[in-house]
């Protein structure tokens, strides 16, 4: 798996069969950071084997932890004395590593974390992280590309988030569990991954109420204990397969996910003409005819997830009629639209809106993944195209999908992974 691998998919496939999803990337990364709050051995299970987990493991190792990866488990031994600096060479590769800011500040009273990198899908500043920590008594400054925070002991505060940011909610939550007194976070993110980290922290001994609502109340405690915790299923990977089934007029059952996490996404699939059946930890999507056009607007949970927007655009591209797709979260999410157009999709963008006029069939072509979800969305769109679609920069897909090619094969797709020819290298 290298930056210059390509994935080739043969168009014309109809997805059929069963596929299982493992733990959510967007939860597991933050759970690894949460382990820093307690000295001793914490064990996370149902963890996806993806590039981002390996990067976060190295972040923790450089902070002094011992980290082992064993099948779907990550075992983290946290020392009494932690390092306090997260280096740029790792943080630039993984935006989620900024989530060590809160727990390190709470544990050590000082932290120096490089400004993060991650997907190029728009500006995502740290203003809400910084302002919230300042309200809790932290002195925060910037120097040479680093965020430097100091607080001998954080204290409780009332914090209002201008936007229900998942990252800010997580960082402030992890800082608050060891602060003196009560912290209230209003307009907090409500995603299932937030509920998951609240469950883990509560099992560690934290006192948290309001998980899953827009108001979190945290009463700080003196110390926490290490735990074993199972990561919640990945709703974005599950949603990818739901849209793939609909786009290819297939029949797919997805296991390992609470379908309630995807209520609006599955409703869009049903509105497009699919039959959706749900169970406690699985759902089935069947699509007999060409999908009908549906409009989609991304919003914070419980709204339609921005990470599923490339799949929604893909569905619209092969649907009967025209769809309006509106992106409200990341200003660069439409970067992949030019690549979709290379496949023959009829898309016009205006600011954060895209008008998609469906076509009967797409046309296979070489395309480039611009981020994790765009890469998966382009591959799925390639299944609805004549001929072969070749996706470059598939290291993005590796960051979010632990067994993408094998899952496609299991659902009946002709797919291969290979090294890109030399003339496709990007210099």
Ligand-binding site membership of 329 (annotated): yes
pLDDT recorded at residue 331: 78
* Domain 25-230 in the same topology as domain 5-21+234-424: yes
- Taking the C-alpha atoms of residue 210 and residue 213, their distance in angstroms, rounded to an integer, is 5
pLDDT recorded at residue 422: 67
* Domain 25-230: assigned CATH number: 3.65.10.10
Q: Along the 427 residues of the chain, how does pLDDT read in single tens digits?
A: 445 789 999 999 999 999 999 999 999 999 999 999 999 999 999 999 998 899 999 999 999 999 999 889 999 999 999 998 887 777 777 777 789 999 999 999 999 988 764 444 334 568 899 999 999 999 998 877 788 999 989 999 999 999 999 999 999 999 999 999 999 999 999 999 999 999 999 999 999 999 999 999 999 999 999 999 999 999 999 999 999 999 999 999 999 999 999 999 999 999 999 999 999 999 999 999 999 999 999 999 999 999 999 999 999 999 999 999 999 988 778 889 999 999 999 999 999 999 999 999 999 999 999 999 999 999 999 999 999 999 999 999 999 999 999 999 999 999 999 987 765 444 3
Peptide bond into 322 cis (omega under 30): no
State whether residue 413 is helix, strand or coil.
coil
pLDDT recorded at residue 119: 41
CATH 3.30.70.20 is the classification of domain 5-21+234-424: no
Which one of 119, 251, 398, 407 is the catalytic residue? 119
DSSP per residue, 175-232: HHTTSBSEEEEET----HHHHHHHHHHHHTT-EEE-TTSSEEEEE--S-----EEEPP
pTM, 2 dp: 0.93
Q: What angle do CA 323, 329, 332 make, to 5 degrees?
A: 80
Annotation marks residue 119 as catalytic: yes
Ligand-binding site membership of 337 (annotated): no
pLDDT recorded at residue 174: 97
Ligand-binding site membership of 140 (annotated): no
Ligand-binding site membership of 25 (annotated): yes
Ligand-binding site membership of 230 (annotated): no
Domain ranges of the chain: 5-21+234-424, 25-230
């Amino acid at each position: 798996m290298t930056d210059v691998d390509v994935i080739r998919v043969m168009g014309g496939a109809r997805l059929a069969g069963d596929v299982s999803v493992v733990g959510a990337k967007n939860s597991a990364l933050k759970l690894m950071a949460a382990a820093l709050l307690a000295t001793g051995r914490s064990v996370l299970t149902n963890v996806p084997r993806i590039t981002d987990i390996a990067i976060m493991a190295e972040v923790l190792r450089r902070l002094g932890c011992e980290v082992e990866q064993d099948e779907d488990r990550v075992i983290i031994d946290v020392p009494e004395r932690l390092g306090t600096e997260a280096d740029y060479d790792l943080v630039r590769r993984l935006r989620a590593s900024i989530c060590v800011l809160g727990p390190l500040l709470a544990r050590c009273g000082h932290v120096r974390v490089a400004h993060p990198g991650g997907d190029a899908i728009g500006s995502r500043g740290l203003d809400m992280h910084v302002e919230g920590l300042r309200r809790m008594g932290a002195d925060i400054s910037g120097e040479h590309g680093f965020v430097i925070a100091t607080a001998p002991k954080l204290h409780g505060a009332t914090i209002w988030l201008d936007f229900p940011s998942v990252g800010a909610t997580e960082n402030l939550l992890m800082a608050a569990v060891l602060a003196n007194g009560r912290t209230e976070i209003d307009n907090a993110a409500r995603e299932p991954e937030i509920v998951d980290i609240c469950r883990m922290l509560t099992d560690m001994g934290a006192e948290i109420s309001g998980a899953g609502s827009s108001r979190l109340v945290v009463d700080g405690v003196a110390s926490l204990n290490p735990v074993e915790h199972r990561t919640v299923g990945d709703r974005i990977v599950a949603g990818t397969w739901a849209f793939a089934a609909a786009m290819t007029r297939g029949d797919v059952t997805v296991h390992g996910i609470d379908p309630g996490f995807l209520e609006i996404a599955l409703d869009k699939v049903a509105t497009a003409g699919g039959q959706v059946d749900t169970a406690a930890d699985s759902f089935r999507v069947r699509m007999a005819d060409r999908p009908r056009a549906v409009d989609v607007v991304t919003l914070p949970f419980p709204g339609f997830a921005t990470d599923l927007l490339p799949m929604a655009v893909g569905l619209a591209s092969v649907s009967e009629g025209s769809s309006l797709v509106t992106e409200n979260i990341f200003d660069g999410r439409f970067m992949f639209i030019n690549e979709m157009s290379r496949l023959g999709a009829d898309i016009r963008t205006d600011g954060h809106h895209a008008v998609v006029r469906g076509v009967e069939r797409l046309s296979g072509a070489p395309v480039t993944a611009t981020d994790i979800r765009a890469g998966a969305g382009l591959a799925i769109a390639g299944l609805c195209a004549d001929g072969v679609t070749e996706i470059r920069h598939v290291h993005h897909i590796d960051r979010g999908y632990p067994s993408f090619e094998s899952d496609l094969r299991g659902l009946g797709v002709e797919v291969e992974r290979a090294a890109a020819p030399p003339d496709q290298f990007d210099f």
